[in-house]
A and B are shown apart, each in its own frame.
Chain A
């Protein structure tokens, strides 16, 4: 079944106030066109779950600049002073999560598991209000699963079914986010006929992808 969708039509399914996981690491491997279309359609009050907010006016940084984000869950905003300013001004609510914990929370969210036990953050401000569990004499924090209404991910190559493969460090959070949202929109640099991606090279399986858009027109 072909998942190829016009980008206007795909993004129109995202309502104001939706929660979005957005792939990418400092803009590398981000769904550039989906982000641009969210801004063009003027979406507001979004919750964004992403590793970072890139740089000012770049990729997720465009959503920040546009004032489209109400709440942010991220591991690092240090290279985007606009995000920090909005956080300090109270315009955006930010939950900072250690990067490995963020990846695992998304992973368990997409895997039907109840949480993560990690030593990361024990005894720090990250542990405030969280349950700890002793196992084998070590203390772990219980971190809760993360899911979103939509995942907007970026792939190197897709087939028309939505099987995806990735490239180098543009992979990052994309494969794990593709499993952790109710609706998954994938933007691919190249879309090829079904059968051209060898089965061993499929990293995200087409069954989790709902809409496929091309990165260029």
Chain B
């Protein structure tokens, strides 16, 4: 299983029946593919729709129906479309149960940086700052390291997306839960030891006496 699949499958287990969920562009969109059987959630896209699903078949695209990256998508019966004001009322107003976002860095305070690298990449924050500030639950899905360098740091060196503490960080190596006391190592991936995770992490990790292995569907 490649690292993105591990991350997406593990995050999919966090979704509950009836949740309103926003998936960021990139890795987080994979989460939709691995919803556990029997779980129905509603996917929101910040460009103005609830009830998004992948395109059912080629040729069924509409110019007026895309995801937040501008790619064609489709919707389930019972879907709703709305303008950007309403979309962000849902996001900021506590109506969005879960947002899943990619990350560049997360630190010991559980703060996320994911919107710019000064001097190199300045894409703009899009909806990320509103999503992290307003969603009931924020899950970060990212690779544990970038070119071997840790992304889970004592303190973020990149500009923060929000000062809000995120709720869960899922990587191909581990599941980490930020708390008021610090980052708790909640699970390790199959074949990965606690010391492997510590070695790949700059931040201090709180390691419980027993750390279970991530359980993923085949």
The interface of chain A, by Cβ under 8 A from chain B, is 25-29, 51-52, 54-55, 74-79, 84, 87-88, 96, 98-104, 107, 118-126, 156, 166-176, 203
Contact yes or no, A124 B85, CB < 8 A: no
Closest-CB distance, B122 to chain A (whole angstroms) = 6
Chain A residues with Cβ below 8 Å from B92 are 100, 118-120
CB contacts (< 8 Å) of A175 on chain B: these are 83, 85
Which of A104, A124, A166, A167 contacts B162 (CB under 8 A)?
A124
Interface size on B, residues (CB 8 A): 40
Output the least CB separation between B65 and chain A (Å): 5
Chain A positions within 8 Å of B45 at CB level = 169
B-side interface residues toward A, CB under 8 Å? 45-49, 62-66, 68-70, 75, 81-85, 87-88, 91-92, 121-130, 133-134, 159-163
**A29 and B160 alpha carbons, distance in the complex (Å):** 31
Contact indicator B125/A75 (Cβ below 8 Å)? yes
Do A169 and B49 touch across chains, with their CB atoms under 8 A apart? yes
**A169 B64 Cβ-Cβ under 8 A:** yes
Task: Return the 5 tightest CB-CB contacts between A and B, nearest first.
Answer: A78-B123, A26-B70, A100-B88, A100-B130, A123-B163
Other-chain contact of A28, B66, B88, B127 (Cβ < 8 Å): B66
Task: Report B-chain residues with C-beta under 8 Å of the C-beta of A119.
Answer: 92, 133-134
The answer for the CA separation of A166 and B64 in the assembled complex, in Å, is: 9
**CB contact under 8 A between A98 and B127, given known A28-B63, A120-B133, A171-B81:** yes
B48: nearest residue on chain A (CB-CB)?
A169
B83:A170 contact, CB within 8 angstroms: no
- List, in ascending order, chain B residues with CB within 8 A of A174's CB: 83
Q: A79-B70, A99-B84 in contact; A168/B163 too (CB < 8 A)?
A: no
Residue of chain A at shortest CB distance from B70: A26
Add 19 more A-B contacts to A98-B128, A100-B88, A169-B47 (CB < 8 A): A25-B68, A52-B126, A77-B122, A96-B124, A96-B125, A99-B127, A100-B87, A100-B134, A103-B84, A119-B134, A120-B130, A120-B134, A124-B160, A169-B65, A170-B64, A173-B83, A174-B83, A176-B85, A203-B83
